[in-house]
Copies of this chain bind each other. A is one copy, B any other.
Amino acid sequence: MAVIEIKIELKKGVADPEGKNTKKTLEALGFEGIGEVKAIKTFVVELDMPEDKAVAAGEEMCRKLLANPVIQNYSVTVR
């Protein structure tokens, strides 16, 4: 049993309204010194297979369903 973590984030240059608005709201609440805020989607998936196969399966999941390659990058790691 392997547990993988799939992170899907926007490519550089793609607008991230969720991150921007989160930053704005944090500043409105009085937080200081905030640079960029990025919002990332993460999936944690349990897979009944060895770790190397699980990472390969996670990458295929991104290609087939989870990520939009036009605007998103993905990374898969064993947890």
Query: Which residues from chain B contact A57 at a C-beta distance below 8 Å?
Result: 31, 33
- Complex copy number for this chain: 2
Q: How far is the CA of A39 from the CA of B47 in the complex (A)?
A: 15
Q: How far is the CA of A45 from the CA of B26 in the complex (A)?
A: 11
A71 within 8 A of B: no
Total interface residues in chain A, CB < 8 Å: 33
- Selected from B33, B37, B43, B60, the residue in CB contact (under 8 A) with A37 is B43
Query: Which residues from chain B contact A36 at a C-beta distance below 8 Å?
Result: 44-46
A11 within 8 A of B: no
| Contacts from A to B (Cβ < 8 Å) | 1, 7, 9, 19, 22-23, 25-26, 29, 31, 33-49, 57, 60-61, 64-66
